[in-house]
Structure formats: structure tokens, C-alpha cells
Amino acid sequence: MTRSAIELPVTADDRRIARLAALAIGLTLAEAAIPSPIPGVKPGLANIVILLVLLQYGWRAAAWVSVLRLLAGGLLLGSLFAPGFWLAAAGALVSLSVLGLARHLPDRYFGPVSLSVLAAFGHIGGQLALAGIWLLPAAALLKLLPVFAAAALIFGAVNGVIVARLLAGPVSSGRQSGSCTPPSIP
């Protein structure tokens, strides 16, 4: 009955999560090259992947991709377990919790843009909460609050629109009304 070789059974699910996590990690790395005036203000491109995973494969898969992205991104950028890593971890945790709740919103009215904006606010909220408790005096953070919130709103909305376009698919949906131009996916 016992086998000598250790074999880890890999399911199709595992492969898919690994593939999507790799995508998210790639975006994290690409994003790290973009200069930012204030640390913490980033487009959060990897969240596009996480949101897509959430909408297509459920919350569990999204959580896996998020955690894998966090760890591997930390390893590759050399920030694993550094303060910045913990801030990102707190942001990801709150963002995932928010997504876990928000995905139960009726999707007739709330599309990817809502989810993305809420997740972005959760992300920045988690980061700022940890930073306020742990790193910086709250008074210093207070002045930056509007900047972070505005960035979350803008980048969250843009990412949400990208997710919505990607989900719409390359198949031109010539339904009843609206634009007839084929969606161009960047």
C-alpha cells in the first residue's frame, strides 16, 4: 500500500490557481517598476486578476491567488516580511473580507466596478489601519488620508472597468442597445 516516492496529487484546480497566481505576480512585478510619488499609491493591477478569479472561480480561489501573489511577490521584490509586506498583507486581508461580503450584493445592480472600488477601499483601509497602529503616528497619516482614498477610488474604478470589459469577452455582444464597437482588450 505504501509508496516510496512522494507524489503530490495536483488537481486541475491547483493548476488553474497556480496559473492565475503567476499572472497576478507578473502584474505585481510590472507595477513595482512604476514610480509612485507616495508609497502605497499604486494602480493595484494584480487586483484585476483577483477580481476575475473571484467572479469566475469563487472566493476561495481568489483568496489563494491573493495569498500566493503576496508571498511570491514579497520573495521576488525582496520585501518578504518587511514592513511593506505586512502592510500589503493587511490590505489584502481586509480587501478579501470586503470582497467576500460584497460578492453577495445583487449582481443585477452591482457589477465588477462596485466590487473593485470596495476592494480598493478595503485595501487602503487595511494598510492605513496597520500603519496607524504600528508604524506612524495617526496625526501624520491623517493628512494623507484624502490622497489614499482618492487613489483607491480612481484605481478601483479603472480596474473594475477593465474587469468588466474582460468579462464581457472578445465576442462582440450585439444585444439590444449600447455601443456596437468590439471591446478592445489591452
Partner 1 sequence: MILRAGDMGVLLLGGGLVAALTVYAWGGDRGDTAVIRAAGQVVKTAPLTHAQSVSIDGPLGTTRIEIEPGRARVAADPSPRQLCVKQGWLTLSGQTALCLPNQVSLEIRGRVPAYDTLGY
Residues contributing to the site for partner 1 (CB under 8 A): 105-106, 108-111, 113-114, 117-118, 121, 137-140, 142-146, 149-150, 152-153, 156-157, 160-161, 164-165, 168, 178
Could you tell me the smallest distance in angstroms from the CB atom of residue 41 to partner 1?
A: 13
Nearer to partner 1, 84 or 132 (CB): 132
Where residue 44 falls (left for φ over 0; alpha for ψ -120 to 50; beta otherwise) is: left
Cell of 18: 497556480
How many angstroms from the chain centroid is the CA of residue 24?
8
Q: Strands (DSSP E) along 101-148, which ranges?
A: none
Could you tell me the smallest distance in angstroms from the CB atom of residue 166 to partner 1?
A: 11
Could you tell me the smallest distance in angstroms from the CB atom of residue 25 to partner 1?
A: 27
Nearer to partner 1, 75 or 142 (CB): 142
Nearest Cα to Cα of residue 97 among 80, 121, 79: 121
Nearer to partner 1, 75 or 105 (CB): 105
Could you tell me the smallest distance in angstroms from the CB atom of residue 183 to partner 1?
A: 9
Termini Cα distance of the chain: 52
Could you tell me the smallest distance in angstroms from the CB atom of residue 136 to partner 1?
A: 9
Nearer to partner 1, 3 or 143 (CB): 143
Nearer to partner 1, 53 or 117 (CB): 117
Nearer to partner 1, 48 or 70 (CB): 48
Where residue 150 falls (left for φ over 0; alpha for ψ -120 to 50; beta otherwise) is: alpha
Could you tell me the smallest distance in angstroms from the CB atom of residue 6 to partner 1?
A: 48
The DSSP line for 77-136 is HT-TTSHHHHHHHHHHHHHHHHHHHHTTS-TTT--HHHHHHHHHHHHHHHHHHHIIIIIS
Q: Is 87 helix (H, G, I), strand (E, B) or coil?
A: helix
